[in-house]
Amino acid sequence: MNKLRKVAVIGWHDGFAGFVQAFAEAEGLWQAECFVEPEEELPEINAELDFARRPCSQFDYPQKGKFKGRDLIVSRDWIGEIMKRDISGVVLTDHDIHRRRRILNGIRESKLELVSTISNNARIMQEVKLEPGVIICANATIEYRAEIGSGTFVCETGFVGHHSVLKECVDIACATVDSNVLIEECATLNSGAVVMSHVKVGSGATVGIGSVVIEDVPEAVTVFGNPARIVWKKL
């Protein structure tokens, strides 16, 4: 049996970082050596109150410098701390897409390698372009000649049609991107959303749950409905 590559996971929230770590290790993609919070201290967490709001009895929180049994690095000099451990690869799972973009730029300036996490059960068709650091979950489909930028997440059953382009740090939940679509950086498509062919979704835009997008979406707005209409815009 081949030894799994050891990586540092940037992000520590059990809702996503823990999920990605679990399926990556189960599928033999890599092994988490440590988790990283790239700030001087963890955000304040009331684990008891947070846990009480969750229907599931299984949820992990950082405790005494550990998360899910692995070391948790909390430091703005997280790159230096990782380098001390002789870890060359990092997996970017931070759930805040704007902070993810900043972290991505920091990784590029370092000697660390950005590692992709692509489920063995994802369907990746011919001549697809995947930049380093993408996360593509089980049962997602990336069709012919689609292009996916670094730091982009495509969750379970997410669908990206042929010749579509997803820029950096895009989040695709259980959503559908038709063919010849452009999704700009830091945009979010929530569960059940559909973006029809030849449409552009602007940078930082959010498409609400179950919405159907039939025309271009400006940057930094939230759209909702069928057909999708602007319900909020950044001032």
Whether the pLDDT of residue 148 is over 60: the answer is yes
Query: Over the chain, what is the mean pLDDT?
Result: 93
Give the per-residue pLDDT at 52. 74
pTM across the whole model: 0.93
Mean pLDDT of 160-188: 97
- Please give the pLDDT value at position 1: 46
- Give the right CATH number for 6-114 from 2.40.50, 2.30.130, 1.10.10, 3.40.50: 3.40.50
Task: Give per-residue pLDDT as tens, 35-91.
Answer: 999 998 888 877 777 777 888 888 888 888 999 999 999 999 999 999 999 898 999
pLDDT over 70 percentage in the chain: 99
Query: 39-66 burial string, b = 16+ CB within 10 Å, else e?
Result: eeeeeeeeeeeeeeeeeeeeebbbeeee
Angle at 79 between CA 77 and CA 82, to 5 degrees: 110
Q: Is residue 144 scored above 70 in pLDDT? A: yes
What's the pLDDT at 111? 85
Indicate the domain borders of the chain. 6-114, 117-233
- pLDDT given for residue 2 in this prediction: 63
**CATH classification code of 117-233:** 2.160.10.10
